A = this chain, B = another copy of it.
């Protein structure tokens, strides 16, 4: 029972990370806080869209925010989150060739869509 809820919780964290934009945000915050505006600029996002993704990250508590005047600064709630991404990176590298072919596939899908 507890096991089950714990898994649901883990699933929610993964869910929060299951979008390229949100991964980009987390990576952008790796070395410290940034304002919503900075993130939008740096990652070339639409304002509303960025705000929505930030809301997801907030709701799953992967990031925390702090208001300062007109701006809202975001930072990672926990540096261990970066470790999760780093371990994942190692996971990729240990299967480079397969990773590559998967990327290739993604690229092809892309090319397909744009026709």
A: residues with CB less than 8 A from B are: 2, 4-15, 17-20, 22-24, 27, 61, 77-78, 80-81, 83-85, 87-88, 90-92, 94-95, 98-99, 102-103, 106-107
Give A38 Cβ to nearest chain B Cβ, in Å.
18
Establish whether residues A81 and B91, one from each chain, have CB atoms under 8 Å apart when the complex forms. yes
Establish whether residues B98 and A91, one from each chain, have CB atoms under 8 Å apart when the complex forms. no
Q: Tell me which residues across on chain B come within 8 A of A80, comparing CB atoms.
A: 87, 90-91, 94
Q: Tell me which residues across on chain B come within 8 A of A2, comparing CB atoms.
A: 103
Establish whether residues A18 and B20, one from each chain, have CB atoms under 8 Å apart when the complex forms. no
Establish whether residues B61 and A5, one from each chain, have CB atoms under 8 Å apart when the complex forms. no
Measured CA separation A106–B98 after assembly (Å)? 37
